[in-house]
Amino acid sequence: MSDFIIEMLQITKEFPGIKANDNITLQLKKGEVHALLGENGAGKSTLMSILFGLYQAEHGEIHKNGQKVLINNPNDANALNIGMVHQHFKLVEVFSVLENIILGVEPTKYSVLKRNEARQKIVQLSQQYKLSVEPDALIEDISVGMQQRVEILKMLYRDNEILIFDEPTAVLTPQEIKELMAIIRGLKAEGKSILFITHKLNEIMEVADRCTVLRKGQCIGTVDIDQTSVEELSRMMVGRPVQLIVDKADLIPGEIVLAVEHLTVASKLHKNNAVKDVSFNVRAGEIVCLAGIEGNGQSELIYALTGIEKPVSGRLTLKGHDLTKSSIRDRSKAGISHIPEDRHKFGLVLDYSLAENLVLQRYWEPRFHQNGLINREAVNQYADNLISKYDIRSGQGAQTIVRSMSGGNQQKAIVAREIDKNPELLIAIQPTRGLDIGAIEYIHTQLVAQRDSGKGVLLVSLELDEVMNVSDRILVIYEGNIVGEFDPKETTVEQLGLYMAGARRNDVKGGQV
Amino acid sequence: MKINLKQAWHTLKNKPGFESFLASAAAIGIGLIFGFLLLVIFKAEKSVYGLSQILVVGFSSAAKFSKVLYQAAPLIMTGLSVGFAFKTGLFNIGASGQYMLGMFMALYSGIVWQFPWYAALIMAMLGGAIWGAMPGLFKAYFNVNEVITSIMFNWIGLFAVNVLLANIPMVLADYYGASNPDRTANMSAANKAAIIPKWGLDTLFDSTYMNISIFMAIILAVIIYFVLNRTTFGYELKACGFNRNASIYAGINAKRNIVLSMVIAGSLAGFGGGLYYLSGTAQYTIEKLLATMGFNGIPVALLATSNPIGIIFSALFISYIQVGGEAMQPEFAKEIVDIIISVIIYLSAFSLLLKGIIRKLIKQSATAGKEVAP
Ligand SMILES: Nc1ncnc2c1ncn2[C@@H]1O[C@H](COP(=O)(O)OP(=O)(O)OP(=O)(O)O)[C@@H](O)[C@H]1O
Ligand SMILES: [Mg+2]
């Protein structure tokens, strides 16, 4: 009898133009939390998809409890008690929580659904593992954090023993991440074996027992967490030491780039306004960070700045030009770039090629067409240039369909596109979500470079480390008001936390001018 | 020689469209087999004859082939209408009504205003465009699903056209001395200049059906292909189709594009109506039936996975087996061909599944090949 509940031995998987997994061996002990770490596109999701039966490996074997098994589809995986929470959730939006959990394994009697039995089991599981959900709420109405708990319950409901989490924390707020860590520990205590993908090294240090590192499709090694450090992990992953703190010189901010005056934006969720009479500026050569807990008006504020939504009242100007009534295209032309928070919804046309996506904000410029005829050569050349400059990795270069790219590389494509427009104002919302530390380092450097070249940067981030690390000035938003303004050098994460939670406030009107 | 073939196969199977092509071919094959089984059930002793009629009649004589081309031209247009809209994320089920309006405008302008054929064809496009614009406007500004409105506009179009025609004596056949008052006039009596020219093809093919409409349809298919794939306009339209939110965020005017897309789709279907009824051989009979030519645009587009060039071939194919189906009368009902077509549509709707199977087969043949090699 082997120690390992799951062994993936010498797995190789090729996609057109790329070896996503090259002779990888991964061994999962029973009852451990095993982290999988690697750069964007290293092949982590691919490897897990093979274990879950979504892809078939060209070479290699999978063993469960020492026995060779064949996993041709997710049903096979389920029969072997393997469950997976995907990087992008797979829930039916218009179904209730309960319906989603039992989908495909509905308990029936004379083909009538035994709803009560299902409900009892779900309630019992959610108490046992502290996964609070509302069984009758519709998926589209609940928070991302609860959606994730639904995904976890789905696995538990199927009595899965081996649980795969593909970047579960990328979409969560810091508070939700804390809760998830506790849940994972609870699952481990109940004897579940867990595979956990994340880019955040502190999460690995916190919950994992061992960690396997992949780089460019190859296995670099497996280490015990007790005997390693953040530095060593990051070196294994990137192949060089990574600088986690951003270097930036002191800079005296220049003229005002963006001025927001008394901006009020309606909410789509409730009758009150989401943004209430907010005023602030962003000046040339500074990174202003908007910090706050998700759902306090950040999204609506950004929609109003970028022109996706019309404000109720107020004014906004870019370098003195009034843009309050301008179209999205005109704002973009005037010099606003925008890295959106939901890359699949707003950032990319997933069925277009990488080249087509890289020109999405500027295909209309004269250099990319002659009288409406697309100049493919120019488009491809431009794309190739960005791909090498920003190290966007994919199977078939500029011609890769973006849907097939790894999540982190999709994000890099957006960042490249928006920064390369050389905007006066860069609005970046969670720009490093889902990125590996090497890429995060790179993007932070880019944000600072924008600032140093005299541009304004407005950063929205839920991650306080990032906020403290890159910003020059921090605005805290709470319930649609700006409740505090801080210099990162003179404040602490704890203090920011108090303001973000609404425990303290000193209303800022007009901002620091 | 053998090596060359192998190489050709290798490059071919890696082409993105290849799997779609095989999937459609498989759908057609299974559809025909199913049709043959039906023939066996109905009249076993004549079944082989029936199938051979379907398969060969279209090529059996120049005249029959002219008929294939004659029907294929409007089919290409309605197929393009559905396919174009689909590429931009809209399901244009209203090609039938747009086709009717195209027909009406062509006949009206050709007969009442005595327009020459090319001007009448432009009027046909205009008629279709207006009818396509309606669902587009509803979708863009009131967020009403285009499927629902275009179905409604099919019926509105049908009855509006019927009422109009019935009340304009000049466009009807009896005005010119014929005996049937429920038909539109024979063009050669009403306005010879409105008949699409034949450029001598009719004598060459020995068929009055033969004219230049097939060439016009093919040229339009090529233009649509070009617009979709090579122009910034097509880039915008397709982007809206794939992801409306991202397009809006990129500054594309999505509302305008929805309307434009439906206007173009409608004008294509309307042009098809013009092509058919300005041929000089077709006369419209006032009936309470939606034009099947419009609905057949849907299988034509599906079979070609909405690729404009593919639509040329799928329209030719559908027209071909329809001509064959007519030729198996009276032994069999020509509706058997409709059943075959429906089976093919049904299977093309499963094209994803078929593609998956085909991909597996290709892979297996590849690994089998590897194992044989040393
Ligand atoms: N379905 C697919 N078709 C073609 N290529 C693919 C497909 N899925 C993944 N790839 C490629 O395989 C490589 C590995 O991708 P994978 O999604 O496994 O990366 P990852 O390690 O999960 O990265 P990330 O951290 O960015 O999510 C990438 O280069 C990607 O472009
Ligand atoms: Mg991944």
CA distance B364 to chain A (A): 12
Residue B270, pLDDT score: 97
Side by side, the strands of the sheet bearing A33-38 are: A82-85, A162-166, A193-197, A33-38, A210-215, A218-224
> How remote is the CA of residue A405 from the centroid of ligand 1, in Å?
5
Return the HEC string of A46-75: HHHHHHCCCCCCCEEEEEECCEEECCCCHH
- Compute the Cα dihedral for A189, A190, A191, A193 and give only its sign: negative
pLDDT value at position B371? Answer: 38
Which of B249, B255, B306, B362 would you mutate first to test chain A, the one with the most A CBs within 10 A? Answer: B249
The CATH code for residues B58-331 is 1.10.3470
Neighbours of A42 (CB within 10 A): 26
* CB-ligand 1 contact for A408 (6 Å cutoff): yes
Cα gap B347→A383, rounded to integer Å? 38
Report the pLDDT value the prediction gives residue A248, as an integer from 0 to 100: 80
Q: What are phi and psi of A265, to 5 degrees?
A: -130, 135
Whether residue A509 is predicted with pLDDT greater than 60 in this model: the reply is no
Q: Please tell me which residue, B26 or A383, carries the higher pLDDT value.
A: A383
Average pLDDT, chain A: 89
Q: Does A338 touch chain B (CB under 8 A)?
A: yes
Rounded average pLDDT over B188-200:
90
Instruction: Measure A509 CA to nearest chain B CA, in Å.
Output: 30
Provide the pLDDT for residue B78: 97
**pLDDT for the residue numbered A240:** 81
Q: Does the pLDDT value for residue A414 go beyond 50?
A: yes
B268 pLDDT tier (thresholds 50, 70, 90): very high
Domain ranges of chain B: 58-331
Question: Residue A136's pLDDT band (boundaries 50, 70, 90)?
Answer: confident
Atom of ligand 1 nearest to the CA of A46: 18
A361 min Cα distance to partner chain B (Å): 5
A425 lines ligand 1 (CB under 6 A): no
A359 exposed, middle or buried (CB, 10 Å; 0-12, 13-18, 19+)? buried
Tens digit of pLDDT for each residue in A149-179?
Answer: 898 899 989 889 999 999 988 877 778 888 8
Domains and CATH numbers, chain A: 4-238 (3.40.50.300), 243-335+423-513 (3.40.50.300), 351-421 (no CATH)
Phi, psi of B94 (to 5 degrees): -95, 15
Q: Which residues 220-259 of B are in CB contact (within 8 Å) with A?
A: 230-233, 235, 238-239, 242-243, 245-252
Nearest-angstrom CA–CA distance, A258 and A271? 28
Q: Would you place residue A38 in the very low, low, confident or very high pLDDT band (cuts 50, 70, 90)?
A: very high
Could you give the percent of chain B with pLDDT greater than 90? 51
Which of A246-250, A406-410, B259-263 is least confident?
Answer: A246-250
Position A441 confidence tier, pLDDT thresholds 50, 70, 90? confident
- CA nearest to A119, candidates A103, A104, A101, A137: A101
More confident residue, A366 or A144: A366
pTM of the shown model: 0.84
- For residue A510, what pLDDT is reported? 45
A35/B3: higher pLDDT: A35
CA separation for the pair A273, A480 (Å, rounded): 8
Q: Give the Å distance between the CA of A55 and the centre of ligand 2.
A: 14
pLDDT tens column, B104-151: 999 999 999 999 999 999 999 999 999 999 999 999 999 899 999 999
Q: A368-382, A438-452, A459-473: which has the highest mean pLDDT?
A: A368-382
